[in-house]
Structure 1
């Protein structure tokens, strides 16, 4: 199935449209895909093409991203959004896979709505070795950096954004860049306004389903460190882990074949 044959639409939650793309067919097990910060649902396209023969794939644009609605929200709001998408589009429980911000969102989904998911996989969640709720000053510093990034991107052509992306990520497949370029133009200014890094231990302790944590190499930009992985596995019997060597934070984009082997093996 080609991308122009994929379905797309909106699930409306409290008057806010959440945009989604869907492929694979509803007669198959459902796998919900949650993207990272500044990406959009179509940034999962390469994974979706690889998995659509065996899964009903739903790729969601998070609030303030892609074609979804705008407005200040918390990480719990994003998790509840995914719950609404599942309830609106399919029969629970489903599988779910998230990257970075989306990994944290999927973990929140499993913690807050355990009946809706049966297996989840988390690609390099941004969980710190010394967890805690981010203070206001640190959060505002991140927001200011984000505002400057948005302002710089708004002045760039698509060709310039593409050139920047290829310079920053020379090991990515060309297939990754069309959605990535588009997604950088679609980030709403409220994307960080209501969000702070939170203590991930709260959600991790509440997860009741099989959970695979996929992590890369810290020296290549991976955010999840070995001590955190060990703490997750020791703290909750539901967790298992897969290290992907030669990858940093964008694991599927940097070591696609190894990543797909891990993901497909887990959800099979």
Structure 2
């Protein structure tokens, strides 16, 4: 970690923070985290892959050390495009989890020249796609708001204990960044954010795309019916099921996850 590069790409006055493993002779791989995580939540993956890849871990807007401000899912995709361009990293591979998976899909759809392959870890795409209605979005925001308010009153030790109780199958290596990231979520993180109709972006993706999904009964968000539809609707898509994992696939079945990711990007 001490040898990783850290900095900001500033876009219209907004700093977008990143961590980079470095190496000009390696292909680049951009990593986009999920809601309430930060770029360093990819540290375990980065340590595993930094010999072969130059990895760029980005703090999403309203997360980590990046700037704050109300934004849409398209804005987050454009933020990634700005980081790639600002670091002269195009064309790049990209990998995203949950919110970050949706963001990477938006990146590939809106800026196809910037990416060559993408992998999506359990994107939050509903079986009945459509723009999320206001009532549903408000309910989801309220749930996250209460969680974040509760965390703000807890010590690091208490957050760690809560995390280990909720996620007993996670490696200890996952928790330091996770504890810190939960303290770094800006108040605007959910304002303006709605689950959009994922079909809009999927139809525009032109690069090879791997969808990594877990078990629905363990909390995986992506249903088999959606996976089947993705593959049917776009020939660029393939899928890899990771048994024994829920939504946090890489944290719950790290070895199987890494095998799938390294095979796809290798």
The TM-score normalised by the length of structure 2 is: 0.99
Contact kept? 1:216, 1:247, Cα under 8 Å: yes
In structure 1, C-alpha distance between the alignment counterparts of 2:145 and 2:262, rounded to whole Å: 37
Contact kept? 2:123, 2:221, Cα under 8 Å: yes
In structure 1, C-alpha distance between the alignment counterparts of 2:77 and 2:22, rounded to whole Å: 24
In structure 1, C-alpha distance between the alignment counterparts of 2:66 and 2:25, rounded to whole Å: 26
Deviation at 1:132, TM superposition (A): 0.7
The counterpart of 1:169, out of the listed 167, 171, 195, is 167
- Cα deviation code 1:77-114 (max 9, x no counterpart): 00000000000112421100000000000000000000
Deviation at 1:69, TM superposition (A): 0.2
In structure 2, C-alpha distance between the alignment counterparts of 1:253 and 1:74, rounded to whole Å: 27
Any gaps of 5 or more consecutive residues in structure 2? none
In structure 2, C-alpha distance between the alignment counterparts of 1:147 and 1:250, rounded to whole Å: 20
- Cα deviation code 1:161-187 (max 9, x no counterpart): 000000000000000000000000000
In structure 2, C-alpha distance between the alignment counterparts of 1:151 and 1:259, rounded to whole Å: 32
Count of aligned pairs: 266
In structure 1, C-alpha distance between the alignment counterparts of 2:219 and 2:188, rounded to whole Å: 26
In structure 1, C-alpha distance between the alignment counterparts of 2:90 and 2:3, rounded to whole Å: 25
> Relative to structure 2, which stretch is displaced further, 122-131 or 83-92?
83-92
2:179 is paired with a residue of what secondary structure? helix
The TM-score normalised by the length of structure 1 is: 0.98
In structure 1, C-alpha distance between the alignment counterparts of 2:242 and 2:140, rounded to whole Å: 28
- Cα deviation code 1:229-263 (max 9, x no counterpart): 00000000000000000000000000000000000
- Cα deviation code 1:195-246 (max 9, x no counterpart): 0011000000100000000000000000000000000000000000000000
Q: Specify the alignment match of 1:204 in structure 2.
A: 202
1:17 is paired with a residue of what secondary structure? strand
In structure 1, C-alpha distance between the alignment counterparts of 2:92 and 2:29, rounded to whole Å: 6
Deviation at 1:267, TM superposition (A): 0.2
Deviation at 1:24, TM superposition (A): 3.8
Deviation at 1:26, TM superposition (A): 2.2
Runs of 4 or more off by more than 3 Å in structure 1?
A: none
In structure 2, C-alpha distance between the alignment counterparts of 1:101 and 1:151, rounded to whole Å: 20
In structure 1, C-alpha distance between the alignment counterparts of 2:193 and 2:210, rounded to whole Å: 25
2:65 is paired with a residue of what secondary structure? coil
Q: Superposed, which structure 2 residues align to 1:216-231 within 5 Å?
A: 216-231=214-229
Contact kept? 1:24, 1:53, Cα under 8 Å: no
Q: Specify the alignment match of 2:248 in structure 1.
A: 250
In structure 1, C-alpha distance between the alignment counterparts of 2:163 and 2:123, rounded to whole Å: 22
In structure 1, C-alpha distance between the alignment counterparts of 2:45 and 2:155, rounded to whole Å: 27
Any gaps of 5 or more consecutive residues in structure 1? none
Alpha-carbon RMSD: 0.6
* 1:22 counterpart = 2:20: yes
Deviation at 1:266, TM superposition (A): 0.2
Deviation at 1:146, TM superposition (A): 1.6
2:29 is paired with a residue of what secondary structure? strand
